[in-house]
Structure 1
Amino acid sequence: MSSRQPLLVVGDVLLDRDLAGDASRLAPDAPAPVVEVADDRSRPGGAGLAAALAARAGREVTLVTALGDDPASEQVRRQLGPVLRLVELPLTGTLPEKTRVLAGGRPLVRFDRGGGTPGAAGPDVAAALDAARAVLVADYGRGTARAVAGHLADAARRGPLVWDPHPRGGQPVPGARLVTPNAAEARTLTGDDARSLHADAARGSRLAARWRAAAVAVTLGARGALLARAGGDSPMLVPAPYRATGDPCGAGDCFAATAAAALADGALPEEAVQRAVTEATSFVAAGGAGSPALWDGPPSADHTPPRDADPFALARSVRARGGTVIATGGCFDLLHAGHVGLLESARRIGDCLIVCLNSDASVARLKGPGRPLTRLDDRMRVLAGLGCVDAVAVFDEDSPVNLLRRLRPDVWVKGGDYTVDTLPEAATVQEWGGQALVLPYLDGRSTTALARRAARSATGRQRARS
């Protein structure tokens, strides 16, 4: 796949606000919970969130949207200006604001207010649209996409265009490479309320034909996404890599932004949807749009999804929301059933599992000549592909103690013949109040035994041929 290509995002920006706290009592004058607000955060939502997510990895992103002179528009300019290029349509009225009240991390109520009408596109908007080679339309039904629909139709003929639709918005322009309704939106758009994967796939196929789109990805929340084409041939279900339990707010924007970025870089729709499902799952697990890390830190210079490239950020995020960080470690040279059983058991203990993995040099020192059998990049990829593993961190020393002091997991897990008293890392994790645990391990499974059996088998085949 080629290097990151520029992306143009078109759509309606909102200002999202979260009032978060705890509710432990009812109001004296009504049976309503009283929320003691501990945190008040505002951030760009809608197309603004999608554009910010696309720009996270250092991609050049231009956002075409309608902004006015109201305080909400000014706040959006302040937050988005440092990370992307803003090209504005005039807005008559005020920017829409959506306020959620959360207790214990769960929404209690949402208040919506404001809303304006986008004006005509000026020459700078037309120039940005006409120069775009890859486009994401985040249509929230507020009129921005309708205001520039002619330019978008031309853009769909030039390169990949992804359209994230809304039942109150307009139809995607013909020729869209991918349209990304969620399951509820697909039901509303087709007037069909049947609930099954077969029905979801059929709706996706019907919408692809109606919109003359190359493909439609119906997002299914925690279940993943269904990729369908007109005619109903061979729909593809892309399951989520694991079940994320965080705030799902903004997951659809993350999915659309990731898919559009992948298509801009030359990916096929199947590849784009697979990447988008993985990124959206990681986004939810890391706290969703309300995660402070999304807005407080500078954009990364590299593509670093939380799931398999930044274990330290994942650990901080899970701790920040009161979760439990689990870590385990080893060489994982030839992954076998014993490894998988240990990892699955470890993941069930807490809210994320980080694997501390010996580097190739570390494995060679510990295991001797001929090891590792599998190089580091492949071992990392196999581990990261397991649904129970949330991130992988590599260490070069013989022991992971220095890495553990950086990760500071709540629980360190090992399997096999250890006891807690004999675990070399037990004293280290106790430094910050962590705990060491030993889990049962499947007998008779080991990388050494697998390697010996493979060697005996190869020797036997060679003798048989001679």
Structure 2
Amino acid sequence: MFDKRSDVLHAVETAFYQKHVLVVGDLMLDRYLWGDVTRISPEAPVPVVHMQRESHRCGGAANVASNLAKLGLHTSIVGFVGEDSDGQVLISALQESGIDTHGILPLAGWSTITKTRVIGGHQQILRMDRETPLADTAHASQLLHQQVMPMLEGEQRPHVIILSDYAKGVLSFELCQALIVRARNLGIPVLVDPKGRDYARYRHATALSPNRGELRGVTGVEDGDLNTLLDAGESLRQSLDVAFLAVTLSEQGIALVDGSEHPRRIPAMAQEVYDVSGAGDTVIATLGAGLAAGLTRLDALHLANLAAGVVVGKLGTAAIDLNELRGALLTDATYEQSDKIANWAHAKQQIARWHAQGEKVVFTNGCFDLLHAGHVTYLEHARRLGQRLVLGLNTDASVSRLKGPERPLIQEQDRARVLAALAAVDLVVLFEQDTPLELIEQLRPDILAKGADYREDQVVGGDLVRRWGGRVALVQLVQGRSTTGIVQRISAQK
């Protein structure tokens, strides 16, 4: 779940528009030839594609820039195209998306990298690549160095730089290190989508986003236990002096490797996958957008994971747009509500993370049988005492012992699910004891909230909380609102 969903919503609705991201890397044009297949060629056992239309999309680093622009960020791009028609098509496509293309250099005697895909129905039949190695990589690196360095200065300097490396020779060791060192001195985060088996060129970057296969290749770990691979990723992170790795794991989601005791995993959203082309571009772009907007790395990565889940449902290289990301956030909110229901161990870990971020955790408890306006108002007031609200919920057996065999009216999982849907509640934790004393001792909240119909010396766990520096807070109740009253009125009507 998001640590600060309100910040994420603010970023998507407002903050993206105020941020500038610079993309440097290998520019490509993706051409699609669309048609139908109705027969096999008599000349060879291959399908005959009756071509109906042709389209073009931005590829490589250009697709990273396209994602950023569609999310509403001011985007600039630096790289090479050839002095050819494909280069002009690519520049025009970028400009139509509102991307600043002044940093693109046409190279004489060099062809724009172009990938042509033949699509029969909804199936890719063939891919043809046209690319020519750079004749003089040292000279090309020097040209880009002269082009990009002035863009790091002045009022228009970027909030984030993304290096999109497709191993076509544009991002040389010298250029990468010059950019990373200069950006680091200026306090600009540098994110890298890496390639190859030598990551020395990315040393001192802020983050790398390898996929599982790329991380195996650079660490030498065989495809086996994921924990072993992520441990090797942590060693790589330390050796390169990188703040974190965002390891994309296909259907297993994304892992954040940042020196924490255990890598944090963000599960993939369940959906039908049509095409993974460009999904890595969407991840690095959305991660960069989130960091530029001030999100934590975990929230930015969670947002990137949602965006990737959208684009893999499209055919061909595709970019996420703002409306699609908003829709993914709404869907994720439904999943997140059920994620709020935690066992004791999970709740303890989550509270430790909140404490590490300097957030105060409020704890309250109750049966909350037949949720009503008094409950909701009470929980909203309790939440305002800190940054997080954890609710200890009596199990059915516990409620029966406290209130009699006719109660509860609503079984525990339903009560937990309804409470988790409230914006004021951050975690729901069931407990089967008659009092929450043992749970409070395990979770160690900062503030213990209870209704003002209690005195402080009557609040179970109050002495414990005060012992570790916390406090007890009594919250005013809404008069005339109670489950007992509702039950009595229903009985009277019957």
TM-score by length of 1: 0.62
Alignment of 1:16-165 (within 5 A): 16-82=30-96, 83-86=98-101, 87-92=103-108, 93-117=110-134, 119=140, 120-121=143-144, 123-130=146-153, 131-146=157-172, 148-149=175-176, 150-157=178-185, 158-165=187-194
Which of 436, 456, 460 is equivalent to 2:483? 456
Shift of 1:450: 7.4
1:360-388 deviation line (CA, Å, top 9, x unaligned): xxxxxxxxx969979xxxxxxxxxxxxxx
CA shift in 2, pair 1:155/1:104, >3 Å: same
C-alpha contact 2:81 2:113 (8 A) present in aligned 1? no
Give, in angstroms, the shift of residue 308 of structure 1: 4.4
- Cα distance in 1 for residues equivalent to 2:67 and 2:286: 8
222 and 457 in structure 1: CA distance in 2 versus 1, 3 angstrom threshold: farther
Q: State the shift of 1:217 in Å.
A: 1.3
Task: State the AA in 1 paired with 2:272.
Answer: A
- The aligned amino acid for 1:112 is D
Q: Secondary structure at the match of 1:274?
A: helix
2:270 counterpart of 1:237: no
Q: 2:324 & 2:35 partners in 1: Cα distance?
A: 33
8 Å CA contact 1:89–1:125 kept in 2: the answer is: no
For the Cα contact (< 8 Å) 2:197–2:217, is it kept in 1? Answer: no
Alpha carbons 2:199, 2:218 under 8 Å: kept: no
Counterpart Cα distance in 2 of 1:450 and 1:216:
36
Rounded to whole Å, the distance in 2 between the matches of 1:96 and 1:153 is 29
- Give the Cα–Cα distance (whole angstroms) in 1 for the partners of residues 31 and 223 of structure 2: 34
CA RMSD of aligned residues (A): 3.8
Q: Is the 8 A contact 2:81 2:106 kept in 1?
A: yes
SS in 2 for 1:145: coil
Alignment coverage as a number of residue pairs:
329
TM-score (norm 2): 0.59
Kept after mapping to 1: 8 A contact 2:191/2:205: yes
Residues 7 and 62 in structure 1, CA contact (< 8 A), matched pair in contact too: yes
Answering whether residue 210 of structure 2 is matched by residue 178 of structure 1, we say no
**Cα distance in 1 between the residues matched to 2:261 and 2:125:** 42
CA distance in 1, matches of 2:265, 2:412: 36
- 1:217 aligned residue (246, 256, 280): 246
1:203 aligns with 2:204: no
Contact 2:219 2:233 in 1 (8 A): no
Quick check: 1:57–1:303 contact (8 Å CA) kept in 2?
A: no
- Asked which structure has the greater CA Rg, the reply is 2
* Percent of aligned positions that are identical: 27
Deviations 1:2-29 (A, max 9, x none): 6232111111111111223333321112
Cα shift at 1:144: 2.4
Check conservation: 1:225, 1:239, Cα contact below 8 A.
yes
Q: Which moved more, 1:112-121 or 1:157-166?
A: 112-121
Equivalent pair of 2:311/2:318 in contact (CA under 8 Å): no
Q: Secondary structure at the match of 2:183?
A: helix
Decide whether the 8 Å contact of 1:156 with 1:174 is kept in 2: no
CA contact (8 A) 1:12 1:144 kept: yes
Shift of 1:275: 0.9
- Give distance in 2, aligned partners of 1:80 and 1:30: 39
Paired letter, 1:66: F
1:277 maps to a residue whose letter is N
Is the contact made by 2:79 and 2:104 (CA closer than 8 Å) also made in structure 1?
A: yes
Partner of 1:430: none
Q: Which sections of structure 2, spanning at least 5 residues, go unmatched?
A: 1-6, 339-371, 378-410, 420-480, 488-494
5+ residue gaps, structure 1, are 311-331, 337-368, 375-442, 461-466
